[in-house]
Amino acid sequence: MLDDRKLAVLRAIVEDYVSTNEPVGSKSLAERHNLGVSPATIRNDMAVLEEEGYIAQPHTSAGRIPTDKGYRLFVDRLSTIKPLSPAERRAIETFLAGAYDLDDVVGRTVRLLAQLTRQVAVVQYPSLTRSSVRHVELVQVASHRLLMVLITNTGRVEQRVVETHSAVSEETIAHLRALLNTCLDGCGLVDAPNAVVDLPEKVSSDDRWVAAAVVSVLLETLVEKHDEKIVFAGAANLAAVDFSQSLRNVLEALEEQVVLMRLLGETGDSSTLTVRIGTENPHEGLRSTSVVAVGYGVGDQALAKLGVLGPTRMDYPGTMGAVRAVARYVGQILAGS
Amino acid sequence: MLDDRKLAVLRAIVEDYVSTNEPVGSKSLAERHNLGVSPATIRNDMAVLEEEGYIAQPHTSAGRIPTDKGYRLFVDRLSTIKPLSPAERRAIETFLAGAYDLDDVVGRTVRLLAQLTRQVAVVQYPSLTRSSVRHVELVQVASHRLLMVLITNTGRVEQRVVETHSAVSEETIAHLRALLNTCLDGCGLVDAPNAVVDLPEKVSSDDRWVAAAVVSVLLETLVEKHDEKIVFAGAANLAAVDFSQSLRNVLEALEEQVVLMRLLGETGDSSTLTVRIGTENPHEGLRSTSVVAVGYGVGDQALAKLGVLGPTRMDYPGTMGAVRAVARYVGQILAGS
DNA sequence: CCTGGCACTCCCTGTTTCCGAGTGCCAAGT
DNA sequence: ACTTGGCACTCGGAAACAGGGAGTGCCAGG
């Protein structure tokens, strides 16, 4: 059905269209790539490709542009991920090395990825669900107010205020702190609720209600899936491509946390690079965009995802290379901290 | 030079142009506003206004549009800040009431303001420099690693890791913690460096180097002006207005923290509503935008600023009303937490 | 100082024309 | 059986053009 030459033609069409942003015709194809055949032959191949739905013409007597299906075939079988240049690698390393904070790591990553790909970068905060408790701290900040700080092994720090309706003694706090930490040390966040839920029953009845308050706030923190936090950067790059009317829709989608979640979350298994093209996207307003995403994390367990969003007409090999490389470096940074 | 009627004409031009987005001519002016004079008279007034530089015509034989100078006069003398509707007030209150976190307060505020004004909202995090220390906490998270947590009276929590090159005893930590808190309790962050800089000399020589490490990290935290953090929302609203070519520039400017800083920072004294129109803006790419900003904070001392950015052709009275109202509510929320 | 009238100026819009890139198909060549 | 050159055809986009209309400036009269 599709012999090698037809595939070569499709690849050439994708490459030319991506670089010129204009429908590509048989003649210019024959000139720019040495396919060894005449324009007429290419035309025949293109007719077949169009019939199969891989390319389309915007109107009669115009060149062809790839369809979503065409891009899909290109990504799956016709392209190889382009490795980054040494200069780019060095840039990544130096740019990420200076981070001192989880917020800072994520912030730098998203800006870096946007700059590298000249598109919109999207980074999800490392998930709480797969990390474990490193330490829990209780601090009295006012006579009726405690601060609870939860520190995870991924460098994440969550803090919450606990209101106590009367004063609490320093000993009680120390006792609770010790109890919490023995219960939770090294405990996975998924298992943490079970580990603490019956903790109030273990303390003397005087302090029980304080313990209950603390535990309730702690449970709240654990349940509130804060891994849903996602940031993006590089919206300005959208303005460069011609999105005509839909730009507004894309920007709106980007500002909706929920949409971003689904954008990254549903991209198949983590740790393998996934590409979602055009109408394969779940969200209405993103039908003319593609998403390249991959999980990242310490070692081989993915903590969260990051990726890039751009027009379907994007440089897939280059983008995939950049996304993969950045994900690796971020994983290293997180493992080292 | 400019009698009352000419000012009324200018006001009418601004109002009509803002609502229709089309150059406004003498005839439609006479119809829509009852100025009590004929189009010919208005034409004469318009000629004067144009000569003075308050309005301009895009091309001969088109209506007039206000210049930056015209908007300036309008804002300064011809408009009154429009109070919000009760429904809007209630919306603000309920929307901000649910916040549990400084991050959350800021995040909700910026989204709220964007939605309310249908423009780009910009909110600066409450400054550290004007707040004071509520509590400092030291926590051992690993044998060679301490976590320092700094809590301010504005609900801000900063945390930093302190590397210690050998194990530190629990008593030492407790001692340091107590020392730090007596030194710093209620101390303004501006004065904090002076208060702790000679603290290592007060501890026994065994613990001195630990104290030095902690103090050095603390100083770092204090010096690093984290009040420079600024967030924005509502970029999608930019796509609605016709920015033609400059949209990209505006988006780029918005993603530069430094630009945002200057945008808010240089807007005169805080606590009074300031408006910067078009070319009054410092940044090149924002020449076709206006900024409405105001300081906010607890009581009468401003902690930071927030504002709105939109096209020069914006509804100034409405925007100013929204900005002022939101700033007040946020101040109340911060004071209450 | 205001007003109606009038000539003038451009922009905008719709229409027409024209050109060219690109196609599909066919017949001839390998 | 596939490839190739030739050729008629199609259609979008640019350029050229005309008409309408909104708006202006100016002037003379109230």
Q: Does the beta carbon of B241 lie under 8 angstroms from any beta carbon of chain A? A: no
More confident residue, B208 or B111: B111
Q: Provide the pLDDT for residue A216.
A: 86
Q: Provide the pLDDT for residue B18.
A: 93
- Burial (0-12, 13-18, 19+ Cβ within 10 Å), A69: middle
Q: Provide the pLDDT for residue A270.
A: 66
- Give the DSSP per-residue string, B266-312: TSSSTTS-EEEEGGGSSSGGGTTEEEEEEEE-STTS--EEEEEEEES
Quickly count: other Cβ atoms within 10 Å of residue A166's Cβ: 8
Judging contacts by C-beta atoms under 8 Å, the chain A residues touching residue B251 are 235-236, 238-239
Tokens 């999800």: give the residue.
A124
Is B238 strand, coil or helix?
helix
Q: Does the beta carbon of A147 lie under 8 angstroms from any beta carbon of chain B? A: yes
Cβ of residue A24 lies below 7 Å from strand C: yes
Which of A140, A151, A251 faces B239 most closely, judged by CB atoms? A251
Whole-number Å distance between alpha carbons of A335 and B142: 16
pLDDT at B196 over 70: yes
- Cβ–Cβ gap B255/A233 under 8 Å: yes
Quickly count: other Cβ atoms within 10 Å of residue B207's Cβ: 19
- Cβ–Cβ gap A141/B134 under 8 Å: yes
Q: Does the beta carbon of B233 lie under 8 angstroms from any beta carbon of chain A? A: yes
For D3, nearest residue by CA–C1' is A41
- Per the CB < 8 A criterion, the answer to whether B55 and B49 are in contact is yes
| DSSP 8-state assignment for residue B24 | B
Q: Provide the pLDDT for residue B67.
A: 95
Judging contacts by C-beta atoms under 8 Å, the chain A residues touching residue B236 are 248, 251-252, 254-255
Q: Provide the pLDDT for residue A303.
A: 75
- Per the CB < 8 A criterion, the answer to whether A144 and A167 are in contact is yes
pLDDT digits (tens, 9 = 90+) for B225-284: 555 689 999 999 988 776 666 788 899 999 888 888 888 876 666 678 999 999 998 888
Is B230 strand, coil or helix?
strand
**CB-based burial, B23-61: b 16+ in 10 Å, e otherwise:** bbbbebbbeebebeeeeeebbebbeebeebebbbeeeee
Q: Which two structure tokens, joined as six digits, stand for B73? A: 């006069």
Q: CA dist A238 to A108, A123, A251, A311, A323, Å?
A: 20, 17, 9, 8, 18
Q: H or E element: which one contains A304?
A: strand A304-311
- Minimum mean pLDDT among A20-24, A207-211, B41-45, B69-73: which range? A207-211
- Give the DSSP per-residue string, A53-110: TSEE-SSTTS-BEE-HHHHHHIIIII--PPPPPHHHHHHHHHHHHT--SHHHHHHHHH
Judging contacts by C-beta atoms under 8 Å, the chain B residues touching residue A149 are 137, 139, 149, 157, 159
Taking the CA of residue A64 and the C1' sugar atom of nucleotide D12, their distance in angstroms comes to 14
Q: Provide the pLDDT for residue B242.
A: 66
Q: Which two structure tokens, joined as six digits, stand for A128? A: 């709480």
Whole-number Å distance between alpha carbons of B305 and B230: 9
Q: Which two structure tokens, joined as six digits, stand for B43? A: 């034409």
Is A190 strand, coil or helix?
coil
Average pLDDT, chain B: 85
Q: Half-sphere exposure (CA, 13 Å, Cβ side) for B337? A: 27
**Residues in Cβ contact with A103 at an 8 Å cutoff, skipping those fewer than 6 apart:** none
Mean pLDDT by 10 residues, chain A (337 residues): 88 93 90 86 93 91 92 94 94 86 86 95 81 79 79 74 80 84 79 79 79 84 70 89 75 89 74 90 89 85 87 95 94 77
Q: Provide the pLDDT for residue A117.
A: 96
Quickly count: other Cβ atoms within 10 Å of residue A290's Cβ: 25
Q: Provide the pLDDT for residue A160.
A: 80
Which residues in 64-93 of chain A line strand C, with CB less than 7 A from it? 64
Amino acid at B149: V
Q: Provide the pLDDT for residue A264.
A: 85
Q: Provide the pLDDT for residue A337.
A: 57
Q: Cα-flanking dihedrals φ and ψ of residue B25, to 5°?
A: -100, 170
Amino acid at B197: V
- CA of B204, closest CA in chain A: separation in Å? 25
CA A109 to chain centre: 11
**Residues in Cβ contact with B1 at an 8 Å cutoff, skipping those fewer than 6 apart:** B52
Q: Which of A112, A140, A147 is the best mutation test for B, with the most CBs of B within 10 A?
A: A147
The nucleotides of chain C lying under 7 Å from a protein CB are 2-5, 8-11, 20-26
Q: Which two structure tokens, joined as six digits, stand for B57? A: 């015509």
Q: Provide the pLDDT for residue A48.
A: 93
- Cβ–Cβ gap A159/B160 under 8 Å: no
pLDDT at B88 over 70: yes
Amino acid at B335: A
Is B149 strand, coil or helix?
strand
**Residues in Cβ contact with A139 at an 8 Å cutoff, skipping those fewer than 6 apart:** A146, A147, A148, A149, B135, B137, B149, B151
Q: Does the beta carbon of A149 lie under 8 angstroms from any beta carbon of chain B? A: yes
Minimal Cα distance from B254: which residue of A?
A236
- Per the CB < 8 A criterion, the answer to whether A68 and A62 are in contact is no
Quickly count: other Cβ atoms within 10 Å of residue A27's Cβ: 14
- Per the CB < 8 A criterion, the answer to whether B165 and B141 are in contact is no
Nucleotide nearest to A26 (CA to C1'): C22
Q: What angle do CA A75, A79, A82 make, to 5 degrees?
A: 110
Is A292 strand, coil or helix?
strand
Which of B101, B135, B233 faces A255 most closely, judged by CB atoms? B233
| DSSP 8-state assignment for residue A229 | -
pLDDT at B129 over 70: no
Domains of chain A, earliest start first: 4-76 (1.10.10.10), 86-126+228-336 (3.30.450.40), 129-223 (3.30.390.60)
Find the mean pLDDT for residues B188-212: 79
pLDDT at B7 over 80: yes
Q: Provide the pLDDT for residue B282.
A: 85
- Per the CB < 8 A criterion, the answer to whether B120 and B114 are in contact is yes
Whole-number Å distance between alpha carbons of A113 and A328: 12
pLDDT digits (tens, 9 = 90+) for A139-191: 777 778 788 888 777 667 777 878 887 788 878 888 888 888 888 877 777 77
- Per the CB < 8 A criterion, the answer to whether B285 and B253 are in contact is yes
Judging contacts by C-beta atoms under 8 Å, the chain B residues touching residue A134 are 141-142
Whole-number Å distance between alpha carbons of B326 and B337: 17
Minimal Cα distance from A249: which residue of B?
B236
Which residues partner with B223 through β-bridges? none
Q: H or E element: which one contains B159?
A: strand B157-163
- Cβ–Cβ gap B255/A238 under 8 Å: no
- Burial (0-12, 13-18, 19+ Cβ within 10 Å), A80: exposed
Is A323 strand, coil or helix?
helix
